A and B are shown apart, each in its own frame.
Chain A
Amino acid sequence: MSNASAVTILSASHLQLVRQHKTVLNDISLNLKTGQIITLIGPNGCGKSTLIKVLLGLEKPDAGTVTRRAGLRIGYMPQRLSLDQRMPLTVTGFLQLARGAGDEQIRYWLNRLSIQPLAQQSVHDLSGGEWQRVLLARALLIRPDLLVLDEPVQGVDVQGQLELYSLIPQLRDELGCAVLMVSHDLHLVMAATDEVICLNGHICCSGHPDTVSLDPAYIQLFGARLQQGKQQHPIAHYTHHHDHQHCADGHIEHRTPGKEIP
Chain B
Amino acid sequence: MNLFDYWWLMPLMAGILLALVAGPLGSFVVWRRMAFFGDTLAHGALLGITFGVLTDIHLTLALVLGSLLLALLLLPLQNRSRLSSDTLLGIVSHSTLAIGLVTLSLAQGIRVDLMGYLFGDLLAVERMDVVWILLAAILIAALLFWQWRALLAITVSQELAAIDGHPVQRLNLMLILLLALLVALAMKVVGILLVSALLIIPPAAARSLARTPEQMVLLASTTGVISVLLGLWASFHWDTPAGPSVVVAATTLFALSLVLQSLRDHRRRA
Contact = CB atoms under 8 A, between A and B. Distances in A.
Interface in B126-160: 149, 152-153, 155-157, 159-160
A58 B211 CA distance: 32
Interface residues on A, range: 20 to 34
A56 B160 CA distance: 10
A70 interface: no
A138 interface: yes
Q: Which interface residue of A57, A86, A90, A138 has the most chain B CB atoms within 10 A?
A: A86
B165 to A, nearest CB: 6
Contacts of B152: 97
A84 interface: yes
Contact of A88 (B159, B166, B204, B213): B213
Contacts of A93: 212-213
A86 B207 contact: yes
Contact of B156 (A87, A88, A90, A99): A87
Nearest to B164: A99
Contact of B163 (A76, A89, A90, A96): A76
A149 to B, nearest CB: 13
| Interface residue SS majority, chain B | helix
A83 interface: yes
B163 A74 contact: yes
A78 interface: yes
Contacts, number: 60
Given A56-B163, A81-B160, A99-B165, A86 B31 contact: yes
A122 interface: yes
Nearest to A94: B156
Given A84-B31, A87-B155, A99 B211 contact: no
| Interface residue SS majority, chain A | loop
A78 B156 contact: no
Interface string A52-78: 000011100000000000000010101
B159 A97 contact: no
B213 A87 contact: yes
B210 interface: yes
Q: Which interface residue of A83, A88, A90, A100 has the most chain B CB atoms within 10 A?
A: A88
Contact of A97 (B30, B149, B215): B149
A76 B160 contact: yes
A78 B213 contact: no
Interface string B161-187: 011111000000000000000000000
Given A56-B163, A86-B204, A88-B207, 9 more contacts: A57-B163, A74-B163, A76-B163, A78-B157, A87-B156, A90-B211, A93-B213, A96-B149, A138-B160
8 contacts: A56-B163, A58-B162, A76-B160, A87-B213, A87-B216, A97-B152, A97-B153, A99-B153
Interface of A: 56-58, 74, 76, 78, 81, 83-84, 86-90, 93-94, 96-100, 122, 138
List the 8 closest A-B pairs by CB distance, nearest first. A99-B164, A88-B210, A87-B31, A97-B153, A76-B163, A86-B30, A88-B211, A84-B31
